Amino acid sequence: MQERHSELINVSQMYKADAAAVTAGVSGTTLMENAGQAIFDAIVARWTPRPLLVLCGPGNNGGDGFVVARLLKAAGWNVDLALLGEASRLTGDAAHHAKLWTGEVLAFDPVVIEDKALIVDALFGAGLSRPLDGRAAMMVRAVNRAVGQGSSKVIAVDVPSGISGDSGAVLGDLCLTAELTVSFFRPKVGHLLLPGRDAAGELVVADIGIPDAVLDSLKIACHRNDPAIWRDSFPRRSSSSHKYTAGHALVLGGSEMTGAARLGARAALRIGAGLVSIAAASTALQIYALSSASVITLACDSVDELENLLRDPRKNAVLIGPGYGTNELLRELVLAILRRDRATVLDADALSIFGADPQSLFNALGSNVVLTPHDGEFRHLFPDMTGDRLSRARSAAARSGAIVVLKGSDTVISEPGGRAVINDNAPPYLATAGSGDVLAGLILGLLAQGMPPFDAAAAAVWMHGELGRSLGAGLISEDLPERLPQVLSSLLKSFS
């Protein structure tokens, strides 16, 4: 089984890793040979011989293409190769490996695509920084037509052409969509951020001889969300544990959309919080009281009553926002919670209520607060921030001083110092009403048990994704907390 690396690198860091490997004594020609071998291995592991075309670009990505073409031809495959540009203009390692190719170099014309079951995209890789144009764009459009007709499949070298390796964005409006992408050393950020993740298809990251020691010089600050990152801080029960050692989570519930707070409370209980209370307006208290025998219900009709509840230091983590409704009382309740310096999750309405004056929220935030905006809520709080999701989440965390969970199929979690993780295990089935309320409750429950906020957010997002994967099509939000014992047991078993 392929080793799963958590470190994510950008294009600049990959160039530095290549250079460091050469400095350490691994030649560039060897790295390129190893890359071609890795692509070859991935292809022959998945397909039997069939007509195959290698599209080579004018740089090192094209050099990788020459290697894989040579290896496949030697293995008896029917291989054609087309080059963007002239072979005489290739330089360095790419020129070296081009000279080892004994077959014909075809003109870069879409006619070469005809009857090719597999097409290796060795055009540009991760380093492309501008939209495809000219003959490259013409060829990519022709390949896309063949893929759309079901006559061809694409194997991308490093990153599908037209996709940014740094952001996963389509550069312009044109890119290839691969069945398989073979990359090297460590995944790129663009492999996990959408739409790059979808364009890459199955991702294989191969060892091509770059020493792991070079990671120390790259100052990695972004990782794929993985239990290895937060396993040491994940709460575990011992024989001396009791409900008070597992924390007391407090959920502020609204008086109309009561389901949201109930989902959050249920998730906090299931993830291991020792006690969970819902504080709500007296008029709605009976609804909450009847919904779960495990949840404590408390009346809270004013800021004064909330502050009285928070005088109990055992109530050590608070969630506010889901289904609460946007009114001035909510704004005052949020600020009252933040004055108490509790570990806090601000979600949904607790974010939207500050849309007209986000700085008043930022001024009150501390490093023990987790903000969980989806894209719409994010735009209200950070209307001037543009760019890819990783950049926006980092900038938002730096500005607010809080942990930011920018929710989506490619959720990004960032802390003010720039450390970030990108989540990639969430299935589309999680796009259902109440799913975000469950996520907020998972973060709350882990905070109540003393998990550091960044780790709690990352762990909750990962577990949320695993719950969705475990349940599959047809899930509804109520299903998610009830599947937690199974997913949690499996996770804890993997730690032992």
* pLDDT tens per residue, range 101-157: 999 999 999 999 999 999 999 999 887 889 999 999 999 999 999 999 999 999 999
Same-domain check for residues 277 and 199: no
| Cα–Cα distance, 197 to 163 (Å, whole number) | 10
Cα pseudo-dihedral 287, 288, 294, 300, rounded to 10: -140
Q: Which domain holds residue 385?
A: 227-495
From 220, 249, 284, the end of a domain falls on: 220
Quickly state the pLDDT bin for 350 (edges 50, 70, 90). very high
Same-domain check for residues 86 and 157: yes
Same-domain check for residues 394 and 469: yes
Same-domain check for residues 158 and 298: no
Q: Does 278 reside within a domain?
A: yes
Say whether the peptide bond before residue 195 is cis (omega within 30 degrees of 0). Answer: yes
From 188, 220, 252, the end of a domain falls on: 220
Quickly state the pLDDT bin for 308 (edges 50, 70, 90). very high
Same-domain check for residues 166 and 265: no
Same-domain check for residues 213 and 238: no
Same-domain check for residues 179 and 247: no
Q: What is the CATH number of the domain that holds 314?
A: 3.40.1190.20
| pLDDT given at position 280 | 96
| pLDDT given at position 291 | 87
Q: State the alpha helices, DSSP H only, in 346-478.
A: 349-352, 358-362, 375-381, 389-400, 435-448, 453-471
Strand pairing report for 202-206 and 180-184: parallel
Q: What is the CATH number of the domain that holds 17?
A: 3.40.50.10260
Based on C-alpha coordinates, what's the Rg of the chain? 26
Q: Does 201 reside within a domain?
A: yes
Q: Does 2 reside within a domain?
A: no
Residue 344: is its pLDDT beyond 50? yes
Q: Does 174 reside within a domain?
A: yes
Same-domain check for residues 140 and 270: no
From 172, 202, 220, the end of a domain falls on: 220
Same-domain check for residues 32 and 175: yes
pLDDT tens digits for range 406-464? 999 999 999 999 999 999 999 999 999 999 999 999 999 999 999 999 999 999 999 99
CA distances from 333 to 92, 210, 277, 303, 336 (A): 64, 53, 16, 6, 5
Q: Does 6 reside within a domain?
A: no
| Cα–Cα distance, 120 to 62 (Å, whole number) | 10
| pLDDT given at position 2 | 43
Q: Does 192 reside within a domain?
A: yes
Q: Does 265 reside within a domain?
A: yes
What is the residue-wise DSSP string for 136-171? HHHHHHHHHHHHHTTS-EEEEESS-TTB-TTT--BS
| pLDDT given at position 235 | 96
Same-domain check for residues 331 and 399: yes
Same-domain check for residues 209 and 271: no
What number is the average pLDDT over the span 389-407?
98
Number of domains in the chain: 2
Mean pLDDT of the chain: 96
Residue 237: is its pLDDT beyond 90? no
Q: Does 5 reside within a domain?
A: no
* Short-list 21, 53, 15, CA closest to 129: 15
Same-domain check for residues 192 and 293: no
The values of phi and psi at residue 213, to 5°, are -60, -20
The values of phi and psi at residue 50, to 5°, are -160, 165
What is the residue-wise DSSP string for 70-88? HHHHHTT--EEEEESS-GG
Quickly state the pLDDT bin for 4 (edges 50, 70, 90). low
